[in-house]
Amino acid sequence: QKEVEQNSGPLSVPEGAIASLNCTYSDRGSQSFFWYRQYSGKSPELIMFIYSNGDKEDGRFTAQLNKASQYVSLLIRDSQPSDSATYLCAVNQGAQKLVFGQGTRLTINP
Amino acid sequence: DGGITQSPKYLFRKEGQNVTLSCEQNLNHDAMYWYRQDPGQGLRLIYYSQIVNDFQKGDIAEGYSVSREKKESFPLTVTSAQKNPTAFYLCASSMSLGLPNKGEQYFGPGTRLTVT
């Protein structure tokens, strides 16, 4: 069983709609959770992190964490074509290492 | 201008040759990491170092070697023993764990290695 799982997509969302990206993890001891955006051919860029249950908002992005369900999500409101990218979920399991999911490819259609 | 630099951006080698990828950071981060990414895949950890003169194997260390002689530098050597070396190689760094740091890592621009 993979430690961090994401739907690989592609996820296609119309411009202006809400994009919802999901991630589940297997280690209940996981402490902090990260979302990275990766444009094609580029390196990952950190866009959100969360470590407490509930929601964390930053501009058009909202990260949601539910530790009981071992589930973390990223919502992108008012999606723009520039949001088209692969989104990587990463989990810190207590050591100074991150475990990454395989990423969800998101396409925003004008 | 703080950041992580990797060079070169593209690298071509013949099979059987060792090649060293450079990674330098001026963020004063303690920890540094090397990942490999294959097309359509997530990131797999090769090696990491939490302090100068110390490093640990990640999930796919076979065929790779590293050194950490300076805090700012963490070069990766891809040896001829690595069976499928063609990939996108990413270097990252992180502050030591502890408030406010929660383990977030920041990435360099990457080196795309092609071995034929």
pLDDT at position A8, please?
83
* pLDDT at residue B1 greater than cutoff 80: no
pLDDT at position B112, please?
97
CA-only gyration radius of chain A, Å: 13
pLDDT tens column, B39-74: 878 899 999 999 999 999 999 999 999 999 999 999
Query: Would strands A4-6 and B19-25 be described as parallel, antiparallel, or unpaired?
Result: unpaired
**Letter for the amino acid at B116?**
T
Instruction: Quote the Cα angle for A100-A29-A65, to 5°.
Output: 65
Mean pLDDT of A3-12: 91
Percentage of the residues of chain B whose pLDDT score is greater than 90: 81
* pLDDT at residue B98 greater than cutoff 70: no
pLDDT at position B95, please?
85
Candidate from B40, B45, B106 with C-beta closest to A97: B45
Output b/e per residue, A72-96; b: 16+ Cβ within 10 A: bbbbbeebeeebbbbbbbbbbbeeb
* pLDDT at residue B87 greater than cutoff 80: yes
Contacts A–B by Cβ distance under 8 A: 56
8 A C-beta contact, residue A4 and residue A98: no
Question: In the block, which residue shows the tokens 């592609």?
Answer: A10
* pLDDT at residue B38 greater than cutoff 90: yes
A56 CB within 8 Å of a chain B CB: no
User: Chain A closest CA to B82's CA: distance in Å?
Assistant: 22
Could you give the count of Cα atoms lying within 13 Å of B66 in the half-sphere of its Cβ? 29
